[in-house]
Structure 1
Amino acid sequence: MALSRRAFTLGAVATAGLTATGLAINPQAASAATYTAYLKTYFTESPNQSAANYGLHLAVSRDGLNWSPLNQNNPVVTPTAGDLGLRDPFIFRKQDGTFVVVATDLYGLNFGRNSQYLHVYDSTNLTSFTGYRRIQMHTYNNVHTWAPTVFWDAGRGQYAIVYSANTTTDLFLVNYTSDFRTVSAPQTYFSPGFPVLDADIHVDGGVTYMYYKNLANGNLYGARSNTGAPNSFTTYTSGLRQGNAIEGAHLLKRNDGSGWWLWGDSFSPVNNDFYLWGTNNIGGNSWSVLNQRDYTPPLNSKHGSIVGITEAEYNAVVTRWGLPNWVRLKSSNFPDYFVRHLNGAIRIDPYPFDPHRDQMWRMVPGLADSAGVSFESVNVPGSFLRHNGYVARLAANDNSATFRADATFYRTAGLADSAWSSFRSYNFPTYYLRHAGYVLRIDPLSSSSSASDRQDATFRVTS
């Protein structure tokens, strides 16, 4: 189907009171700031879809590896047009230092639904998302518009919106824009002779880097171009893959300037959500797999994006949306396992699972000693993790002295890793909470215990 070289217009009217004036572009606005933290966008799914939510979710991180969901892992805004849901939200800091979010117009798992549009939001400082609209990217019938990414094309003096489409094959299209309200006609951006999906693009040192999934073999690859122009990329890395299946490549330059991370998302909600690689040289072919001990994605998060933020932006977004009022406990030696309750038992199981709230705990002052801690179940309020016959159980608080003592622990430096935590029993002061055969119990442990026993008793308190 031939497309005219006209500019496409909005599929929805912008929020009242907002104008479509041009950007006062300041190329130094974004680069002059010092980024001290990161913000992530995503949507949520879980194995049985009980945690599925297709609104815009946010999380923050100081180190870019371990994440805290904002707004109690609820969406901060949800589309009101098109499919009434979004996937693959991509956040980009524009030349004037403000933000834009573009996202796939799709609710749920109905991948046969093909929209010509993308959802778009504006944000000045991440405390609100306004100007909601949809922009029409093409006029093809039965062609999807998935997983957008954005970069600034300095040669054109415009933003490029690149997305997955399936015209003659699975390829990437690009539309150019100055305001994220009107866009140029689409062009083929990357079609290497095999089907591709999920581009992410960053410009660094005058080179444009693109990471993508090769659908023919299921691996992620990196390509680069000296111009960033359509059809100018050459693949330069070997294939990357972790787990049974991977997609959603997301490339991120570290705030400290010491290297890059590459995230990959499993495409199924029943698999582990994210995998991670790191490199000190984006131009090389030397990606290293990071251990899952080193990173913790937001709860139930799926395909999104990450941007560096300033200290002021971090403080503003946390103040506006709030950090979680619950914690999760991640196992040291089974780093994809989390402490949860199941039919009254306390155990560790591989994430993700449902009900997902079984792993969420309110870590409150100790019932027997406020200097310690107790763990109250989020989805069974009034019930606490306690030991009984040395085995951990979830039980309703009967307010007896025995119950309060059994449910109280002292948080100490982790027996296997001082940056993590261990939990010493209040009423058995040489005993620690640990897993054995995936079930939690208390056993006598110390710094001289075996390495395996100390790892069993070490957890990361995360969210």
Structure 2
Amino acid sequence: MTLSRRDFTKAALASAALAATGVVSFPHAASAATYTAYVFAYFTESPSFQGADYGLHLAVSRDGLNWTPLNQNNPVVTPTAGQLGLRDPQVFRKNDGAFVVIATDLKGTNFGLNSQYLHVWDSTDLTNFTGYRRIQMHTMNTHTWAPTVFWDASRGQYGIVYSADSGGRAVFMVNYTTDFRTVSAAQTFFSPSFGVLDGDIVVDGATTYLYYKNLNDGRIYGARSTTGAPNSFTTYASGLIQGNAIEAPLLHRTNEGGWRLWGDSFSPVNNDYYAWSTSNVGGGSWTLLNQRDYTPPLNSKHGSIAQITDAEYNALVTRWGAPAWVRLKSSNFPDRFVRHLNGVARIDAYPFDPYRDQLWRMVPGLADANGVSFESINVPGSYLRHSNYELRLAANDNTSTFRADATFYRTAGLADSAWTSFRSYNFPDRYIRHSNYVLRIDPLSASSSASDRQDATFRITS
């Protein structure tokens, strides 16, 4: 059954009222069948901070794996009080169907600045944000980082859990609220024998799940509780790690009934995100996803994901707009993207700076509008063209030779028909491929080796 927005809101309000009496739990605002897409909230950083922005960024996705940044990956709203910046935003759907956005009060990486406050906005559908305020969570001389929100049905209140230091150790604190304006006194929520950071909480039926970073070993663990009450959690999922370090676990349901867990790299110089999946969050066993299967939002750091309806997805894209650029992701090196460097076209592991080297305007082919040409975003008027079969970035001289060298035809991917390959306009037996990470055009066909076909296959993403 599909609920109208009006019926959906009435049902949400009625269930919330019952939950407040302790009669019934109301863990999320609509049935899973209502949700068809996802929204990702985040801030941005890149290795030398050329892509750093500490406002609220949003991206959307149909599959929850490959993301489209909104508003040209610019912030949709920015704090105007406190430290004038945010980190670690969470977008949370309340029991009335509307959203609250809550975030760390910190701009940049001066982690020694201790704020007792969190940023808060209200939003009906994330196309506008109202009621901006900061709420004071405690009076201690410590930080208030990485908030996560959950509905505690037994209390009839929302819990706001965040990282802080108490008694010389990193712990999670909690305050309770009904309106995200006034909060209860802070109390310790989770304080094992080791320091913890970056909690994320999801309620599933009678179980409350808490995923966190263990500061002793740098890994992500899962804990659970049958009550969701402070100090009632038991760790049950073994530590997960990828790369050199990982933090900021992000746990969410999928629209198909499964679960995903994302982990953010420890610093902007490493890969942005890794992802795991499971069909049973209670089992504690997670399968690492191949990076071919997902593309996080550009420069995204420590975010949150919420399920949204088709109408909400369309409203977000209409309000904020899709990117005016694309990126090209390598099939067999899925952590690498096509970029220009010193005039040479190549694939490099992301992230890197200047990060805009990988952004392209894919325009109608300069020699044939049925084809495509790639104009650099940060060197406008310059295009990818082949010269002696090697791809380079060069200024358009408007000659027929340049136009022909810079034009390619999109075809089904030679290694994966769901991806894309690019055939040269003026050397129609040759395709763009990478060799030793450098791009060139070489003769290729369906009978070429699997390795060569993979070298010539890319995902057009954003």
Find the counterpart in structure 1 of residue 237 from structure 2. 237
- CA shift at 1:364, angstroms? 0.5
Rounded to whole Å, the distance in 1 between the matches of 2:432 and 2:15 is 54
AA matched with 1:134: R
What RMSD in Å do the two structures reach over aligned CA positions?
1.1
User: How far 1:450 moved relative to its partner?
Assistant: 0.5
Counterpart residue identity of residue 454, structure 1: R
Alignment-mate amino acid for residue 329 of structure 1: L
Tell me the distance in 2 between the aligned counterparts of 1:461 and 1:347. Answer: 16
Q: Structure 1 residue 26: deviation in Å?
A: 4.7
Distance, in Å, in 2 between the alignment partners of 1:68 and 1:52 is 18
Pairwise CA distance, 1:208: 0.4
1:426, CA displacement in angstroms? 0.6
Q: Distance in 2 between matches of 1:133 and 1:24?
A: 24
Task: Show the 5 A alignment for 1:122-141.
Answer: 122-141=122-141
Distance 2:426 2:304 in 1: 46
Unaligned 5+ residue runs, structure 2? 1-11, 17-25
In 2, Cα distance between the equivalents of 1:155 and 1:24? 16
Q: Give deviations 1:157-179, integer Å, cap 9, x for gaps.
A: 00000000011110000000000
Partner of 2:317: 318
CA distance in 2, matches of 1:147, 1:192: 18
Q: How many residues matched? A: 439
Match of 1:226 in 2: 226
C-alpha displacement of 1:205: 2.0
Which secondary structure does the structure 2 equivalent of 1:90 belong to? strand
Corresponding residue for residue 59 of structure 2: 59
Q: CA deviation at 1:41?
A: 0.3
CA distance in 1, matches of 2:161, 2:369: 54
CA contact (8 A) 1:207 1:224 kept: yes
Q: Deviations over 1:205-232 (max 9, x none)?
A: 2100110000001110010000000000
Look up the match of 1:3. none
TM-score, with normalisation over the residues of structure 1? 0.94
Q: How does 1:37-436 map to 2 (within 5 A)?
A: 37-141=37-141, 143-168=142-167, 169-257=169-257, 259-436=258-435
What letter is aligned with 2:375? E
Secondary structure of the 1:121 match is: strand
Cα contact 1:25–1:95 (8 A) shared by 2 = no
Letter in 2 for 1:300: N
Distance, in Å, in 2 between the alignment partners of 1:47 and 1:375 is 25
Q: TM-score, normalised by structure 2?
A: 0.94
Match for 2:184: what amino acid? S
Q: Report the equivalent of 1:11.
A: none
CA–CA distance in structure 2, aligned partners of residues 30 and 408 of structure 1: 49
TM-superposed CA distance for 1:134, in Å, is 0.2
Residues 183-240 of structure 1, C-alpha deviations (whole Å, 9 max, x = no match)? 0001100001110000000011210011000000111001000000000000001111
Which amino acid in the other structure matches residue 442 of structure 1? I
For residues 140 and 433 of structure 1, the distance between their equivalents in structure 2, rounded to whole angstroms, comes to 58
What is the CA-CA distance between 1:286 and the residue it aligns to?
Answer: 1.5
Native 8 Å contact 1:26 1:96 kept in 2: no
Residues 97-152 of structure 1: CA deviation (Å, up to 9, x unaligned): 000000000010100111000000110011001110000000012x1100000000
Match of 1:443 in 2: 442
Q: What is the CA-CA distance between 1:73 and the residue it aligns to? A: 0.3
**C-alpha displacement of 1:62:** 0.6
Q: Distance in 2 between matches of 1:294 and 1:54?
A: 28
Q: Which SS does the other structure have where 2:239 is aligned?
A: coil
Partner amino acid for 1:296?
T
Match of 2:383, SS state, is strand
Residues 39-74 of structure 1, C-alpha deviation per residue, up to 9 Å, x if partnerless?
000000000011110000000011000001000000
Cα distance in 2 between the residues matched to 1:295 and 1:25: 38
Whole-angstrom distance in 2 between the partners of 1:293 and 1:42 = 22
Kindly report structure 1 stretches of 4+ aligned residues shifted beyond 3 Å: 23-29
In 1, Cα distance between the equivalents of 2:13 and 2:176?
Answer: 17
- How far did residue 263 of structure 1 move? 0.2
Q: Distance in 1 between matches of 2:449 and 2:335?
A: 22
* d(CA) in 2 for partners of 1:234, 1:312: 39
Letter aligned with residue 413 of structure 2: G
Is the CA contact 1:207–1:226 (under 8 Å) kept in the aligned structure 2?
yes
- Looking at structure 2, the residues matched to 285 and 90 of structure 1 have their Cα atoms a distance apart, in angstroms, of 23
Alpha-carbon distance between aligned partners in 1 of 2:30 and 2:204, rounded to the nearest angstrom: 12
SS at structure 2 position matched to 1:335: coil
Distance in 2, Cα, partners of 1:26 & 1:100: 18
Q: 1:99 is matched by which residue type in structure 2? A: F
Counterpart code for 1:346: A
Q: Following the alignment from structure 2 to structure 1, what is the Cα–Cα distance between the partners of residues 331 and 289?
A: 14
Query: By how many angstroms is 1:256 displaced?
Result: 1.2
**What is the match of residue 452 of structure 2?**
453
Indicate conservation of the 8 Å contact 1:197/1:214, yes or no. yes
Aligned to 1:370, what secondary structure does the other structure show?
Answer: coil
Whichever residue aligns with residue 378 of structure 2, its letter is: N
SS at match of 2:36: strand
User: Within 1, Cα distance between the matches of 2:100 and 2:14?
Assistant: 14
Could you tell me how far apart the structure 2 residues matched to 1:370 and 1:128 are?
A: 38
Give the aligned residue type for 2:133. Answer: R
Q: What is the Cα deviation at residue 285 of structure 1?
A: 2.4
Identity %: 76
Aligned partner of residue 401 in structure 2, secondary structure: helix
**Aligned counterparts of 1:334 and 1:35: Cα–Cα separation in 2:** 32
- Aligned letter for 1:147? A
Q: Partners in 1 of 2:292 and 2:67 — Cα distance?
A: 13
